[in-house]
Amino acid sequence: MQEDQRVFDVAIVGGGIGGTMLGTVLARHGVRVLLLEGSGHPRFAIGESTVPETTFGLRVLARRYDVPEIEHLATNAALRRHVSSNCGVKRNFGFVYHREGEPTRPDECTQYPTWGPPLGPDSHYFRQDVDAYMFHVAVSYGVTAYTHTMVDDVKFEEDGATLVTRDRGSFRASYVVDAGGMRAMLPERLGLRQEPPYRTRSRTIFTHMVGVRPFDAVSPPREQHRMPSPFSQGTLHHMFQGGWLWVIPFDNQSTSTSELCSVGLNLDLDRYPRPDDVSAEEEFWRHVRRFPSVARQFERARAVRPYVSTDRTQFASQKVVGDRWCLLPHASDFIDPLFSSGLAVTVMALNALGHRLIDAVRQDDFDTARFAYLDHWTKRMFRFYDDLVSCSYIAFDDFDLWNAWNRVWTLTTLYGTNAQNQAAVTYEKTHDPACFDILEMPPYRGLRGMDNPWVERMFDQSRDAVLAYRAGELTKEKTIARIYEVLGESGLVPSVWGTLDPGNRCPSGVFTLWPLMKILLWGKYRSPRHVRGSYFTGGARLVGKEAVQAYTSELRAGSSLVHQTVRDMWLNWNRDWARRPAPRK
Ligand SMILES: Cc1cc2nc3c(=O)[nH]c(=O)nc-3n(C[C@H](O)[C@H](O)[C@H](O)COP(=O)(O)OP(=O)(O)OC[C@H]3O[C@@H](n4cnc5c(N)ncnc54)[C@H](O)[C@@H]3O)c2cc1C
């Protein structure tokens, strides 16, 4: 290898979903990128359930940096057509409460639907396919990528860094991004790992299975539970005191080619310390058998890969950026799989890091201060998720408490996604990527509306009530009453939502076109002053336009496939190869 083939602007350690997306974005804008992945593709990865802020963030990333291939991950229709038919659909977040030894009660469940087309629904990523797809996209944009290349060390000098690989020699780069996930190398080398400063203390046992039945086949009938979307069409959370279990099916859409279902048991570490004398598999099934409705769902299930059992799931680093390096979020910290925050925080960081690195390379100025925003907002989001998750584990004590606390989460989802939508609406009018800069200005920074003082106050006051309950300072009834009071006083709840009615267990309603219009109209004309003008200022036109585009692209894909099949019956020659877009270097 020639010496100049070993020198790059940015080196990315780790070729998972985060590293490959960052590499693609940078290469699209002329940065010389080296991507080093220790294993190969496809390879197993965890982090499968998306949330609206992940998919909206992906749409922003694709448009801001002009990489349409990233947008294929943003809706389920595009994902299964362009990326993999092994992925599942997520039309809802379903939460079902369980008591030991009892079948689930029909009125002890809640639901939050994801957006309908054109902006949804969300997806269950079969990560090995999604990550392999992104790896190939990165290569097609000009990233120099090597698989099976483990980076063992990085030595920093004044003008850059030298990356030492196990089998492929050394490389030079002006800047290093560690996208190595939870076992990332830089935090170890630089001594950044610290005892997680988080209240959440949980551990996880997970695997992939076949034979997991759709929960709708064993749950009480729909007339009794009254949830609008089938449980099996989304990410299902079985909740119980001190824990929860995820069910993420990949076989739940009509054209799926997968039989797999991801399952993961999450346990409060203090209530359920990790036993020394029980295998992960045995422990998993012991918990499943405690809850009759869960046991019925799993009666024909078997694992197709080894069970993974973690110690404490939380990890943390002292900081996210330093002199000529930064960590992607999953190399830095993690809280818990609950609420699927990992990819949302990663995409938020990629949006903020991309333009900073492009400018730094162009100006040959990698001053750490340029990247301080990333440090602040990544850490702040992890602190927020720690509050959200730790209070959820407390709320799992009692269904009514969960039913109240869950509403706080749904409201933060509304304001988080709407912030991203604000930028998308402006982009639709101007086609100027600079309009995405507002996402790094108040009140839109971070995720989940956390930068908005009204959302922050509503969240903090509700959290404090739950913590007071845990400390024995408030009764359960007073805690629940306080949460509804805070929600009501915030003025943030759309009048078309049933958030203040405990009997309404899907308080947001659904996000199909008409209910969506009703929320937009409330936001634009009837919401209080602190909402109006900052949120819901537009969107009807955007949604309408995207609906037509989604419909016509489905039609076009259908008719072009029919056309190709008929053609291939009669002709051997074609020019399909000439229609493929040229690599964009
Ligand atoms: C149990 C669990 C469940 C989760 N569930 C969800 C969920 O449902 N939804 C969600 O949004 N998020 C979830 N997450 C978080 C999610 O997994 C991460 O946010 C996401 O995978 C981050 O992607 P990444 O590319 O940064 O890292 P990864 O996907 O971890 O990829 C890191 C890559 O770096 C490579 N690598 C590591 N070290 C080196 C080295 N020294 N040299 C070369 N290569 C290296 C690895 O081989 C790997 O391919 C979950 C996390 C856990 C732990």
Q: Could you please report the per-residue DSSP string of 185-240? A: HHHHHTT-EE----S--EEEEEEEEE-PPPGGGTSPPHHHH--SS-GGGSEEEEEE
Closest C-alpha to ligand 1, atom 50: 47
Domain boundaries, the chain: 1-84+125-197+316-394, 202-309, 398-538, 548-579
State residue 89's pLDDT score: 95
pLDDT score at 329:
98
Query: 236, 104 in Cβ contact below 8 A?
Result: no
Quote the ligand 1 centre to 14 CA distance (angstroms): 9
Alpha carbons 404 and 499: distance in angstroms, whole number: 9
Nearest to 251 by CA among 264, 260, 242, 243: 260
Tell me the C-alpha distance between 49 and 37, whole Å.
Answer: 23
Q: Specify the residue for token string 């929600």.
A: 487
Q: What is the pLDDT along the chain (585 residues), one digit of tens a residue?
A: 666 779 999 999 999 999 999 999 999 999 999 999 999 999 999 999 999 999 999 999 999 999 999 999 999 999 999 999 999 999 999 999 999 999 999 999 999 999 988 888 999 999 999 999 999 999 999 999 999 999 999 999 999 999 999 999 999 999 999 999 999 999 999 999 999 999 999 999 999 999 999 999 999 999 999 999 999 999 999 999 999 999 999 999 888 999 999 999 999 999 999 999 999 999 999 999 999 999 999 999 999 999 999 999 999 999 999 999 999 999 999 999 999 999 999 999 999 999 999 999 999 999 999 999 999 999 999 999 999 999 999 999 999 999 999 999 999 999 999 999 888 888 888 999 999 999 999 999 999 999 999 999 999 999 999 999 999 999 999 999 999 999 999 999 999 999 999 999 999 999 988 898 899 899 988 898 888 888 888 777 777 888 888 878 877 777 776 777 777 787 777 777 666 555 444
Q: What are phi and psi of 304, to 5 degrees?
A: -110, 0
**CB within 8 Å of 306: residues ≥ 6 apart:** 207
Q: Which residues pair with 248 in a beta bridge?
A: 262
Q: What is the 3-state secondary structure (H, E, C) of 422-471?
A: HHHHHHHHHCCHHHHHHHHCCCCCCCCCCCCHHHHHHHHHHHHHHHHHHC
Rounded distance between C-alpha atoms, residue 458 and residue 460, angstroms = 6
The DSSP element (H or E) to which 247 belongs, if any, is strand 243-249
Angle between helices 399-430 and 476-490 (to 10 degrees): 20
pLDDT at 554: 77
Q: Where are the alpha helices (DSSP H) in 298-371?
A: 329-332, 341-363
Phi-psi region of 122 (alpha: psi -120 to 50; beta: other; left: phi over 0): beta
Per the CB < 8 A criterion, the answer to whether 327 and 175 are in contact is: no
Atom of ligand 1 minimally distant from the CA of 206 = 1
| CA 260/CA 240 separation, integer angstroms | 24
Ligand 1 centroid, distance to 178 Cα (angstroms)? 11
202-309: CATH class: alpha beta
In this structure, what token pair is assigned to residue 551? Answer: 């419909």
Half-sphere exposure of 300 (CA within 13 A, CB side): 10
Residue 328 CA: nearest ligand 1 atom is 26
- Whether the CB-CB separation of 68 and 60 falls below 8 Å is answered with no
134 alpha carbon – ligand 1 mean position (Å): 14
Among 8, 9, 55, 17, which Cα is nearest to 328's?
17
N-to-C CA span, the chain? 21
Question: What integer pLDDT is reported at residue 304 of this predicted model?
Answer: 98
| Ligand 1 centroid – CA 180 distance (Å) | 7
Q: Is 69 exposed, middle or buried (0-12, 13-18, 19+ CB in 10 A)?
A: buried
Distance from residue 331's CA to the centre of ligand 1 (Å)? 8
| Contact between 174 and 361 (Cβ < 8 Å) | yes
Distances in whole angstroms, Cα of residue 548 to Cα of each of 74, 165, 511: 17, 49, 17
Strands 261-268 and 202-210, bridge-based pairing:
antiparallel
**Pocket around ligand 1 at a 6 A CB cut-off:** 13-19, 36-39, 45-49, 54, 150-151, 179-181, 183-185, 204, 206, 264, 328, 330, 334, 337, 340, 342-343, 346
Residues 345-361 as b/e (b if ≥16 CB within 10 A, e otherwise) read bbbbbbbbbbbbbbebb
> What is this model's ipTM?
0.99
Which CATH number is correct for 1-84+125-197+316-394, 3.40.50.150, 3.50.50.60, 2.60.40.10, 3.80.10.10?
Answer: 3.50.50.60
Q: Measured between alpha carbons, how far is 98 from 108 in angstroms, rounded to an integer?
A: 8
Q: What per-residue confidence (pLDDT) applies to 585?
A: 47
What is the pairing mode between strands 88-90 and 122-124? Answer: antiparallel
Q: In testing the pocket of ligand 1, which one of 12, 46, 146, 148 has its CB within 8 Å of the most ligand atoms?
A: 46
Please tell me the distance from the alpha carbon of residue 33 to that of residue 11, in angstroms, as a whole number. Answer: 6
